């Protein structure tokens, strides 16, 4: 029996058993739908979290801090700090794969007045024009423009008069910045700086969105040194952190190893994403396994259908053997029928799983928007690999389920089968 005859014979046999085949296929559809929908949830959650993290950081960036907050010395104290000095910045910039090294400083406890609105406990972050702040409105300060600033995305919600202002409305306005420090005699000194607001930073999804001013690092460093009231502050204490930009994400791991070899504590988005990828891989496997239980239950239905088919077609099997069909031909026919049942259920289940995923995703999105929660963190995504896997897995389950019935059919004695009524 050639392949074309085999396919035709299998399809004709399935057509004769419409009701049984339809019910069996429905069982496979339910199991495949469960797999697709549950794994799609895991994939969607991973994608949603990844996009949120990517919106607040860059995989090309590594952050170096003076000490590892997760480690301490033998007596339970904090690990000794490494001073992030200008000398260290130059050393890091010479590492192969490093594109730029930008020091970071912060000025705390600052008051800001814009028109008639006042905000307290504001932080000033310095940044370099080599690695500018991403803006959603306006522009970034130019290299030689130290009298301009960028406001965080929700800065307009921080005013003490409870008057919420859209951050975009503040672009072009003048800001009066008051930095305080405690003098040697215990009195409070204030330094005032006027700057023009030229842009609004992109939302980072963090608390800093409400209370941060971004200023060119030269101007911020001047205020920081004044507030600390410490000569040679950077040489003595070093920068708060360093932001290292690598040439490409592929170089991030090698650069991070080189930095850690120097005893530095390095934090990177890529490191976090790799960790989440492992966690979500396990989660997807668990969700898929839960869905696979339904498909394995459906495999019992395939076995039952094929065994019942043997009883109904015993005489037919005897005739096929009598006219020259071998055991391999009988096995191929029954495996073909079981495989087609699995394939049809896989295709139907994949489509239904995709449809249900879209519906559930839309419902979750509408519900959260009505509740004022913004974009839904619950997403269902059916990537191509999941659709292919679901169809192949369902087909494989069908084939495996058909092995026992196929072997049993092939072992029938043709003489006994011909006498079967």
User: Is residue 213 located within the same domain as residue 291?
Assistant: no
User: Is residue 315 located within the same domain as residue 380?
Assistant: yes
Q: What are phi and psi of 235, to 5 degrees?
A: -70, -35
CA distance 114 to 170: 8
User: Is residue 228 located within the same domain as residue 288?
Assistant: no
User: Is residue 304 located within the same domain as residue 199?
Assistant: no
Range 399-404, long-range pairs (CB < 8 A, 24+ positions): 399/335, 399/338, 399/339, 399/342, 400/299, 401/299, 401/300, 401/302, 401/303, 401/306, 401/338, 401/342, 402/302, 402/303, 402/306, 402/334, 402/335, 402/337, 402/338, 402/339, 403/335, 404/303, 404/307
* Residues contacting 381, CB < 8 A, separation 6+: 40, 43, 44, 47, 357
Other Cβ atoms within 10 Å of 69 Cβ, number: 10
* Residue 81, pLDDT score: 66
Mean of pLDDT over the chain: 80
- Please check whether residue 249 lies inside any domain of the structure: no
Q: What are phi and psi of 135, to 5 degrees?
A: -115, 145
* Residue 56, pLDDT score: 60
- Please check whether residue 201 lies inside any domain of the structure: yes
Highest mean pLDDT of the ranges 5-19, 135-149, 182-196, 357-371: 182-196
> What is the torsional sign of CA 147, 170, 132, 179?
positive
Give per-residue pLDDT as tens, 292-310. Answer: 888 888 888 888 888 877 7
User: Is residue 180 located within the same domain as residue 124?
Assistant: yes
What the block records as the tokens of 374 is 């913004």
Q: Tell me which of 176, 201, 233 is where a domain ends.
A: 233
Q: Tell me which of 180, 206, 233 is where a domain ends.
A: 233
Q: What are phi and psi of 47, to 5 degrees?
A: -65, -40
Residue 416, burial from CB neighbour count under 10 angstroms (0-12, 13-18, 19+)? exposed
Residue 158's closest CA among 166, 168, 150?
166
User: Is residue 138 located within the same domain as residue 220?
Assistant: yes
- Least confident piece of the model among 15-24, 156-165, 177-186: 156-165
Contact predicate 36/354, CB 8 Å: yes
CA distance 31 to 26: 9
- Please check whether residue 64 lies inside any domain of the structure: no
User: Is residue 311 located within the same domain as residue 379?
Assistant: yes
Contact predicate 149/212, CB 8 Å: no
CA distance 33 to 30: 5
User: Is residue 285 located within the same domain as residue 369?
Assistant: yes
User: Is residue 110 located within the same domain as residue 216?
Assistant: yes
* Residue 76, pLDDT score: 46
Segments forming the whole domain that contains residue 117: 106-233
- Please check whether residue 395 lies inside any domain of the structure: yes
Number of domains in the chain: 2
Q: What are phi and psi of 277, to 5 degrees?
A: -60, -40
- Please check whether residue 11 lies inside any domain of the structure: yes
Asked whether residue 77 carries a pLDDT value surpassing 50, the answer given is no
- Please check whether residue 358 lies inside any domain of the structure: yes
Contact predicate 336/405, CB 8 Å: no
CA distance 307 to 315: 14
- Please check whether residue 78 lies inside any domain of the structure: no
- Please check whether residue 297 lies inside any domain of the structure: yes
* Residue 350, pLDDT score: 92
* Residue 377, pLDDT score: 58
User: Is residue 281 located within the same domain as residue 219?
Assistant: no
Asked whether residue 214 carries a pLDDT value surpassing 50, the answer given is yes
Give per-residue pLDDT as tens, 113-149. Answer: 888 888 888 888 887 766 677 788 888 777 667 788 8
User: Is residue 329 located within the same domain as residue 410?
Assistant: yes
Q: Tell me which of 233, 256, 290 is where a domain ends.
A: 233
User: Is residue 280 located within the same domain as residue 159?
Assistant: no
Give per-residue pLDDT as tens, 386-398. Answer: 899 999 998 998 8
């Amino acid at each position: 029996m050639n392949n074309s005859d085999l396919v035709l014979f299998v399809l004709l046999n399935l057509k004769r058993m419409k009701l049984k085949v339809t019910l069996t296929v429905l069982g496979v559809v339910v199991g495949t739908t469960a797999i697709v929908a549950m794994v799609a949830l895991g994939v969607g959650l991973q994608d949603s979290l990844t996009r949120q993290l990517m919106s607040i950081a860059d995989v090309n960036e590594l952050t170096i801090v003076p000490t590892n907050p997760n480690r301490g010395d033998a007596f339970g104290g904090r690990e000794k700090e490494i001073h992030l000095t200008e000398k260290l910045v130059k050393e890091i910039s010479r590492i192969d794969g490093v594109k730029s090294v930008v020091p970071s400083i912060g000025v705390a406890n600052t008051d800001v007045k814009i028109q008639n609105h006042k905000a307290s406990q504001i932080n000033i972050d310095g940044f370099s024009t080599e690695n500018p702040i991403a803006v959603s409105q306006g522009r970034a300060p130019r290299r030689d423009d130290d009298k301009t600033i960028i406001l965080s995305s929700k800065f307009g919600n921080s005013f003490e008069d409870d008057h919420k202002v859209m951050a975009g409305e503040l672009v072009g306005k003048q800001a009066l910045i008051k930095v305080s420090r405690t003098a040697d005699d215990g009195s409070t000194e204030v330094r005032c700086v006027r700057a023009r607001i030229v842009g609004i930073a992109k939302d980072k999804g963090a608390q800093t969105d409400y209370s941060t001013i971004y200023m060119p690092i030269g101007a911020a460093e001047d205020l920081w040194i004044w507030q600390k009231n410490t000569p040679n502050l950077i040489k003595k204490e070093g920068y708060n952190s360093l932001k290292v930009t690598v040439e490409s994400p592929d170089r991030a791991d090698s650069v991070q190893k080189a930095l850690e070899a120097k005893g530095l504590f390095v934090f990177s988005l890529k490191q976090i994403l790799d960790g989440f990828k492992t966690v979500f891989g396990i989660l997807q496997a668990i969700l898929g396994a839960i869905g696979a239980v339904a498909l394995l239950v459906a495999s019992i239905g395939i076995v039952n259908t094929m065994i019942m088919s043997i009883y109904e077609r015993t005489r037919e099997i005897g005739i096929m053997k009598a006219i020259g069909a071998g055991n391999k031909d009988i096995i191929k026919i029954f495996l073909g029928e079981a495989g087609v049942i699995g394939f049809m259920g896989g295709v139907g289940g994949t489509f239904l799983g995709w449809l249900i995923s879209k519906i559930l995703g839309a419902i979750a999105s509408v519900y959260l928007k009505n509740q004022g929660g913004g974009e839904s963190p619950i997403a269902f995504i059916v990537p191509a690999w999941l659709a292919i896997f679901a169809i192949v897995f369902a087909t494989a389950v069908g084939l495996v389920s058909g092995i026992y019935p196929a072997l049993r059919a092939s072992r029938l004695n043709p003489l006994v089968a011909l006498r079967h009524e």
